[in-house]
Amino acid sequence: MKTYNFKIKRFNPSEESSPQWQEFSVQMDPMERLLDGLIKIKDNSDGTLTFRRSCAHGICGSCAMKINGKNGLACQTLIKNMPERITIEPLAAYPVIKDLVVDMTQFFMKSEEVLPYLINAETPPERERLQSKDEQQKILESITCIMCGSCTSSCPTYWSDKEYLGPAALLKAYRFIFDSRDRAFDERLGRIIHAQGLWRCHSIYNCVEACPKEIDITGHITELKRLAVKNFFKRNK
């Protein structure tokens, strides 16, 4: 057991006018997760400390927060890899509801704009549609997104322009545009090639650094840009 100092940004906007920092000292086993530390604080010191959590092993996407200045999942952050002083803040760029809980409504709405579902009106075969391994390879990384919001929250372009679709929504568009079974290519591409869509991404790579699933989001967005340009020239030949 070792003692760690958790410095947490607290805020309940319905009752307080500004955020406050509060420090807690927590006894932790090196194999424990940062999330375990937050739970210890809630259970033993301050029941009002508020955060989201569910699966506790990096697959549900609930507990994304800013940990020592970098977005990540509290359940995927092992305490032994942390310094003794840990600063924890809510994800940036989303309105705070309470403490580490942010309002993600806008974040989810962005994805809705790209028609985030497989579209194919052809009569399906009796059995599964065939998809080659190469075809699937194209979407393999993009399907691992857990919608935790770390990427969009880390994007400076999104900080300055809340109308920007953001990396998560563009990745979602990629996931369907590059799925060999999808037939809504034009419509979906049309929804992202505008000033606050694809072209607003300036390849800053913050999203890649922030992604807890290690998805090369900027790389995927670059692929989309390449496709959009190719498609433009094909149309105007």
Partner 1 sequence: MIHQFDTVIIGSGLAGLRAAIEAAKYGSVAVLTKLFPTRSHSTSAQGGIGAALGNEEPDSPEWHLYDTVKGSDYLGDQDAIEIMCEDAIRTIVELEHLGVPFSRTTEGKIAQRRFGGHTRNFGEAPVRRACYSADRTGHAVLSALYEQCKPLGINFFSEFHVLDIVIENNKCHGVIALQIENGEIHVFNAKSTLVASGGYGKVFKTTSNAFASTGDCLSILFNAGLPLEDMEFFQFHPTGLYGLGILITEGVRGEGGVLINVQSERFMERYAPAIKDLAPRDMASRAIMTEIKEGRGIDGKDYVHLDLTRIPNQVLSERFPEITTFCKIYMGIDPSEKPIPVLPTAHYAMGGIPTDADGRVLNDEKAGVIKGLYAAGECACVSVHGANRLGCNSLLDTVVFGRRAGIAMAGENKNAERGNIHRDAIDNAASLIDLTIKRKGDQRIGDVRSELQTDMMDLCSVFRNEQGLKELVSKISIIEDKAEHITLKDKSKIFNTELLDAIEFGHLINLSKVIASSALQREESRGAHFRDDFPQRDDADWLKHTFAFKKERVVEFKHKPVKITKFQPEERKY
Q: SS in 3 state form for 21-55?
A: EEEEEEEECCCCEHHHHHHHHHHHHCCCCCCCCCC
- Specify the length of the chain in residues: 237
236 is a site residue for partner 1 (CB under 8 A): no
72 is a site residue for partner 1 (CB under 8 A): no
139 is a site residue for partner 1 (CB under 8 A): yes
Which residues in 196-235 contact partner 1 (CB under 8 A)?
none
1 is a site residue for partner 1 (CB under 8 A): no
Q: Please state, in angstroms and rounded to a whole number, the distance separating the CA atoms of residues 51 and 6.
A: 14
Q: Please state, in angstroms and rounded to a whole number, the distance separating the CA atoms of residues 128 and 30.
A: 47
Q: Which stretch binds partner 1 (CB under 8 A): 83-91, 132-140, 217-225, 228-236?
A: 132-140
22 is a site residue for partner 1 (CB under 8 A): no
97 is a site residue for partner 1 (CB under 8 A): yes
17 is a site residue for partner 1 (CB under 8 A): no
58 is a site residue for partner 1 (CB under 8 A): yes
Cα separation values, 99 from 4, 11, 74, 192, Å: 20, 5, 14, 33
User: C-alpha angle 45/91/42, rounded to 5°?
Assistant: 10
Of 152, 142, 143, 144, whose CA–CA distance to 102 is shortest? 152
**H-state helical runs in the chain:** 34-40, 105-112, 133-140, 150-154, 156-160, 167-177, 185-192, 206-210, 217-235
Nearer to partner 1, 157 or 208 (CB): 208
Q: How far apart are the first and last CA of the chain?
A: 68
Total binding residues toward partner 1, as defined by CB under 8 A: 59
Nearer to partner 1, 126 or 237 (CB): 126
Return the residue of 23, 46, 163, 186 that touches partner 1, per CB under 8 A.
46
53 is a site residue for partner 1 (CB under 8 A): yes
Q: Which stretch binds partner 1 (CB under 8 A): 34-42, 163-171, 199-207, 229-237?
A: 34-42
Residues found near partner 1 in the complex (CB under 8 A) = 12, 14-15, 31, 33, 39-40, 42-44, 46-48, 50-62, 76, 78, 97-98, 101, 103-104, 108, 112, 116-118, 120, 124, 126-133, 135-136, 139-140, 143-144, 146-147, 179, 181-182
